[in-house]
Amino acid sequence: MLPAEAGPNAAFYVVLNAGSGHSETALRESTIRDVLGDAGRTCHLEIVDDPAKLCDIARRMATQAKENGGVVVAAGGDGTINTVAHEAVRQGCLFGVLPQGTFNYFGRTHGIPEELDEAVRALLDARVTPVQIGMVNDRIFLVNASVGLYPQLLEAREEDKRQYGRSRIVAILSALKTTLGRYRPLRIAMDAEGITRKLRTPTLFVGNNRLQMEQVGMEPMSVALEEGELAAIAPRQVGKLGMLGLLLRGALGRLGDADNLVAFSFKRLSVKHAALSPRRRIKVATDGEVTHMRMPLEFRVVEGRLMLLKPAAAPDAGADAKA
């Protein structure tokens, strides 16, 4: 059974992504410890300085949080938040977030402050809120999952960020560079609740975040998320200029006006190759982290499994159970 609330003396088990520099990480660590210490709360904190260790550290901290009635907390970007949330769901413990990424869609959707000291203070009087998650095969996603061009874009963006720094401008320019490059279109068959769609597309994007849908101009999909579904978006095969046009529409919040776009909502979706293909595995991005998965891909929505500490002052717009 999942916990209904965090006790006033519940300990916090914080998984802190080391980020880009030692001094910045040290400042974040001291901020977290100082705010929680001043409030008289116990803080167990581990710094992840090697991405390969993130899963093991998240699993260990979530296990300790479950055993001791505490809260496991992810301090980092969407990828870190995803990994720690996965272990929180597995262990059935409470989950907190200290957003430290570029876009912070998950944190912003739930009213979690982006300033670290404010986010830590928000944990102290937060209310427990069940949050909808998406799953693709055995992996969860809080914001989105995708195949095709989008995972390539993410890999290129991470490489560019390592060279030029983490900023939204770098992310946008990297996306333009990848879109103008070479990529192989997908030929897929999608089955959602008995309806089959065959499509040749550069990318399939599955969304689970209201704010992201609203920002690109897909308001109907935002409504679907509020009603406990996921949103599938895939452009029909277009040239590079057509893809640039779609990127521009998304940046301007007008993607929903495009006439070369397939978009629908669902609770379960199966995706397989439309024809015989030598590729049995495919790159899948979940909240910015790229892995390989076996086809077919099975997407589904799962409600109420992630118990999030949401700031008490956050507005309640009917999205409490949605990511």
* Nearest by Cα to 209 from 77, 319, 55: 319
What range defines the domain where residue 82 resides? 12-125
Average pLDDT of the segment spanning 172-184: 74
Last residue of one domain, picked from the residues 125, 160, 184: 125
Contact 101, 161 (CB under 8 A): no
pLDDT digits (tens, 9 = 90+) for 184-229: 788 999 999 888 999 999 999 999 999 999 999 998 898 999 999 9
Confidence of residue 141 (pLDDT cuts 50, 70, 90): very high
- The whole-angstrom separation of Cα 201 and Cα 179 is 13
DSSP-based three-state secondary structure for 301: strand
* 160 and 101 belong to one structural domain: no
Q: Which residue has the higher pLDDT, 154 or 28?
A: 28
Tell me what pLDDT residue 37 has: 96
Tell me what pLDDT residue 318 has: 41
In a domain, 94, yes or no: yes
In a domain, 317, yes or no: no
Q: Which residues of 113-129 are buried (b: 16+ CB within 10 A; e: fewer)?
A: beebeebbbbbbebebb
Residue 9 tokens read as 């003396």
In a domain, 318, yes or no: no
Ranges of beta strands (E only) in the chain are: 12-17, 43-48, 71-76, 94-99, 127-136, 139-141, 144-148, 186-192, 195-201, 203-207, 230-235, 261-266, 268-273, 281-286, 289-294, 297-310
CATH number at 164 reads 2.60.200.40
The residue type of 300 is: R
Residue 307 has pLDDT above 70, yes or no: yes
CATH number at 103 reads 3.40.50.10330
Q: How many domains does the chain have?
A: 2
DSSP-based three-state secondary structure for 286: strand
Which are the contacts of 267, defined by CB distance < 8 A and separation ≥ 6?
Answer: 193, 228, 229, 230, 300, 301
In a domain, 51, yes or no: yes
Last residue of one domain, picked from the residues 95, 125, 155: 125
Mean pLDDT value across the chain = 88
